[in-house]
Amino acid sequence: IDDRVVGMTFSEFGRRVKSNSSLGTDHGAAAPVFVFGKNVRSGITGNNPAIPVNAATNENVPFQYDFRSIYASILKQWFCVNDTDLQTIMLRNFQEIHLCINAACKTTGLEDIVRGSGEELITNYPNPFVDKTTVTFRTKGGHTLIQVMDQMGRVIRVLTDKEYIAGVYSVTFDSHGLQNGVYYARFQNGALQQVRAMLKVR
């Protein structure tokens, strides 16, 4: 039976970096998810978050993977849902994360995927910046998404969300109307993902 079962934890809320000492909810923007089973790729997907030394009670760990990407990946890799039906179910295109190594409908290989190899896939200049910064990214082709999130983990800008031919491209992040502080540009290209911290100053 272990060849026929995949398990997954999930929660409707994440957790904050720091407790607010019961002055209200500690629910946050991000939380870990565990996927387990004989046919699940072992290891950790994503990077350890950088926790601020002087974290405030309202700060969040920026999420790295949209929870809907996990759902979509399980549907496709384990339940063999085709791309057309997946779009109907999920209502839009989400990043595929290679979770299953021996799914019933296909085998997923990761040999050609760069994870934590030091390859820089997204940068920005200038950084720090005042109003605008140029975000440069390297895509291997296919669907590419860049979202900008604030320190609360909220998506405040979508810089690009479309199909690309493999290559290097640039987009502009215009922070007009946003407060000073750290923002995170999250790059997704297939199973590849990186997060870039950007600092807005006066």
Phi, psi of 86, deg, nearest 5: -65, -40
28 near 12, Cβ under 8 Å? Answer: no
Binned at pLDDT 50, 70 and 90, residue 24 comes out as low
Q: What is the pLDDT of residues 78-99, one digit of tens each?
A: 887 878 778 888 888 888 888 8
Q: Identify the sign of the CA torsion 181, 182, 184, 185.
A: positive
Q: What is the pLDDT of residues 102-140, one digit of tens each?
A: 655 544 444 344 444 457 899 999 999 999 999 999 999
Rg of the Cα trace of the chain? Answer: 18
∠ CA 130-136-137, nearest 5°, is 140
Q: Chain centroid to CA 107: how far?
A: 23
Q: In whole numbers, what is the pLDDT of the chain averaged over residues?
A: 83
Domain-wise residue ranges, the chain:
1-111, 122-200
In the chain, % of residues over pLDDT 70: 89
SS3 state at 90: helix
The strand pair at 122-125 and 35-36 is best described as unpaired
46 near 64, Cβ under 8 Å? Answer: yes
Binned at pLDDT 50, 70 and 90, residue 171 comes out as very high
Helix 67-77 with 83-90: angle, nearest 10 deg: 150
* β partners of residue 15: 27
Q: Detail the DSSP E strand segments found in the chain.
A: 7-8, 14-15, 27-28, 35-36, 122-125, 132-139, 142-149, 155-164, 167-174, 181-189, 192-200
| CATH code assigned to 122-200 | 2.60.40.1930
